[in-house]
Homo-oligomer: A and B are copies of this chain.
Amino acid sequence: MIIKKPKINLKSIFPPVVWFRQYNTENAVCDFIAGITVGLTLIPQSIAYAALAGLGPEYGLYSSLCGGVIYAVFGTIPQLNIAPTALLSLLTFTYTNGAPFGAANAAVLLCFFAGLIELVCGILHLGFLVDFVSVPVVAGFTSAGAITIASAQVKNLMGLSFNGETFIEIWKNVFEHISEAKLWDGVLSIVCCSVLLLLRQIKDYGTPPVSESKEGSRDLKSILKTFVWFLSVSRNAVVVLLCAVMAYTFSLHESKPFSLTSKVSSGLPQLTPPPFTVVSNNNETYTITDMAKYLGSGIFVTPFIAILSNIAIAKAFAQGKVVDATQEMLAVGFCSLFGSFLSSMPVNASFSRAAVSNASGTRTPFAGIYTSIMVVLSMTFLTPYFTYIPKATLASVIICAVIFMVEVSIVKPLWKINKIDMIPLVVTLVACLIIGIEKGILAGVVVDALFLLYYSARPRVEIEEVMNDSHNYLKIMPDSAVFFPAIENLREKIVQTTNNKTDKFQTVVIDCVHISRVDYTSAKGVASLCNDLEKNGKSLVIVNAVVDVERVLSGACSDKCIFAKTDQDLIQSLKDFPFRAGSVATVHFDYISDEWYKDSEKGTNL
With a cutoff of 8 Å between Cβ atoms, the chain B residues found around residue A513 in the complex are 513-514
With a cutoff of 8 Å between Cβ atoms, the chain B residues found around residue A320 in the complex are 495, 531-536
In the complex, what's the smallest C-beta–C-beta distance from A596 to chain B, in angstroms?
15
A131 and B489 contacting across the interface, CB-CB below 8 Å? yes
Which residues of A from 343 to 357 have beta carbons under 8 Å from B?
Answer: none
Question: Of all chain B residues, which has the CB nearest A419?
Answer: B520
From the candidates B455, B521, B534, name the one contacting A135 in the complex (CB within 8 A): B521
With a cutoff of 8 Å between Cβ atoms, the chain B residues found around residue A488 in the complex are 131, 315
Which residues of A from 318 to 339 have beta carbons under 8 Å from B?
Answer: 319-323
B455 and A453 contacting across the interface, CB-CB below 8 Å? no
Give the complex CA separation of A219 and B132 in angstroms. 71
A556 and B413 contacting across the interface, CB-CB below 8 Å? yes
Q: Mark A543-559, 1 if CB is under 8 A from B, else 0.
A: 00000000110011000
In the complex, what's the smallest C-beta–C-beta distance from A559 to chain B, in angstroms?
11
B479 and A131 contacting across the interface, CB-CB below 8 Å? no
Q: Mark A392-420, 1 if CB is under 8 A from B, else 0.
A: 00000000000000000000011011101
Q: Does A421 contact B (CB under 8 A)?
A: yes
Question: Of all chain B residues, which has the CB nearest A452?
Answer: B456
With a cutoff of 8 Å between Cβ atoms, the chain B residues found around residue A485 in the complex are 128, 131-132, 134, 452
A480 and B516 contacting across the interface, CB-CB below 8 Å? yes
Give the complex CA separation of A536 and B320 in angstroms. 7
Known: A134-B520, A480-B480. A3 touches B514 (CB 8 A): no
B454 and A452 contacting across the interface, CB-CB below 8 Å? no
Known: A481-B480, A495-B320. A128 touches B457 (CB 8 A): yes
From the candidates B3, B459, B520, name the one contacting A414 in the complex (CB within 8 A): B520
With a cutoff of 8 Å between Cβ atoms, the chain B residues found around residue A585 in the complex are none
Q: Mark A31-71, 1 if CB is under 8 A from B, else 0.
A: 00000000000000000000000000000000000000000
Q: Does A1 contact B (CB under 8 A)?
A: yes
With a cutoff of 8 Å between Cβ atoms, the chain B residues found around residue A480 in the complex are 480-481, 514, 516-517
With a cutoff of 8 Å between Cβ atoms, the chain B residues found around residue A145 in the complex are none
B516 and A459 contacting across the interface, CB-CB below 8 Å? yes
In the complex, what's the smallest C-beta–C-beta distance from A449 to chain B, in angstroms?
6
Q: Does A486 contact B (CB under 8 A)?
A: yes
Give the complex CA separation of A132 and B418 in angstroms. 26
In the complex, what's the smallest C-beta–C-beta distance from A525 to chain B, in angstroms?
8
B448 and A484 contacting across the interface, CB-CB below 8 Å? yes
Chain A interface size band reads: 35 or more
Give the complex CA separation of A50 and B283 in angstroms. 57
A555 and B315 contacting across the interface, CB-CB below 8 Å? no
Question: Of all chain B residues, which has the CB nearest A531?
Answer: B320
With a cutoff of 8 Å between Cβ atoms, the chain B residues found around residue A451 in the complex are 519
A449 and B449 contacting across the interface, CB-CB below 8 Å? yes
A516 and B479 contacting across the interface, CB-CB below 8 Å? yes
Question: Of all chain B residues, which has the CB nearest A449?
Answer: B453
Q: Does A496 contact B (CB under 8 A)?
A: yes
Q: Does A499 contact B (CB under 8 A)?
A: yes
Q: Does A483 contact B (CB under 8 A)?
A: yes
Which residues of A from 500 to 555 have beta carbons under 8 Å from B?
Answer: 513-514, 516-521, 523-524, 528, 531-536, 551-552, 555
Which residues of A from 411 to 452 have beta carbons under 8 Å from B?
Answer: 413-414, 416-418, 420-421, 448-449, 451-452
Question: Of all chain B residues, which has the CB nearest A591?
Answer: B590
Give the complex CA separation of A421 and B456 in angstroms. 17
Give the complex CA separation of A195 and B315 in angstroms. 72
From the candidates B134, B421, B555, name the one contacting A413 in the complex (CB within 8 A): B555
Give the complex CA separation of A588 and B555 in angstroms. 32
From the candidates B417, B452, B534, B552, name the one contacting A452 in the complex (CB within 8 A): B452
Which residues of A from 65 to 124 have beta carbons under 8 Å from B?
Answer: none
Tell me which of A134, A458, A513 has the highest count of chain B C-beta atoms within 10 A of its own C-beta: A134
With a cutoff of 8 Å between Cβ atoms, the chain B residues found around residue A534 in the complex are 320
Give the complex CA separation of A499 and B320 in angstroms. 9
In the complex, what's the smallest C-beta–C-beta distance from A76 to chain B, in angstroms?
14
Q: Does A263 contact B (CB under 8 A)?
A: no
Q: Does A599 contact B (CB under 8 A)?
A: no
Q: Does A136 contact B (CB under 8 A)?
A: yes
Q: Does A492 contact B (CB under 8 A)?
A: yes
With a cutoff of 8 Å between Cβ atoms, the chain B residues found around residue A4 in the complex are 492
Give the complex CA separation of A514 and B549 in angstroms. 15
With a cutoff of 8 Å between Cβ atoms, the chain B residues found around residue A496 in the complex are 322
Q: Does A460 contact B (CB under 8 A)?
A: yes
With a cutoff of 8 Å between Cβ atoms, the chain B residues found around residue A128 in the complex are 457, 485, 489
Give the complex CA separation of A204 and B299 in angstroms. 62
Question: Of all chain B residues, which has the CB nearest A130?
Answer: B488
In the complex, what's the smallest C-beta–C-beta distance from A150 to chain B, in angstroms?
26
A136 and B531 contacting across the interface, CB-CB below 8 Å? no
In the complex, what's the smallest C-beta–C-beta distance from A419 to chain B, in angstroms?
9
B516 and A460 contacting across the interface, CB-CB below 8 Å? yes
A418 and B449 contacting across the interface, CB-CB below 8 Å? no
A524 and B135 contacting across the interface, CB-CB below 8 Å? yes
Give the complex CA separation of A519 and B454 in angstroms. 14
With a cutoff of 8 Å between Cβ atoms, the chain B residues found around residue A417 in the complex are 520, 523, 551-552, 555-556
With a cutoff of 8 Å between Cβ atoms, the chain B residues found around residue A484 in the complex are 131-132, 134-135, 448
Query: Could you list 9 further interchain pairs (A-B, Cβ under 8 angstroms) beyond the known A322-B499, A514-B516?
Result: A3-B492, A128-B457, A134-B485, A134-B520, A135-B520, A135-B524, A136-B520, A315-B528, A460-B516
Some 24 contacts from A to B, beta carbons below 8 A apart, are A3-B489, A131-B486, A131-B488, A132-B453, A132-B485, A134-B484, A134-B519, A135-B520, A315-B528, A320-B495, A320-B535, A320-B536, A413-B520, A416-B555, A417-B552, A417-B555, A452-B452, A452-B456, A455-B481, A455-B517, A480-B481, A480-B514, A480-B517, A588-B590
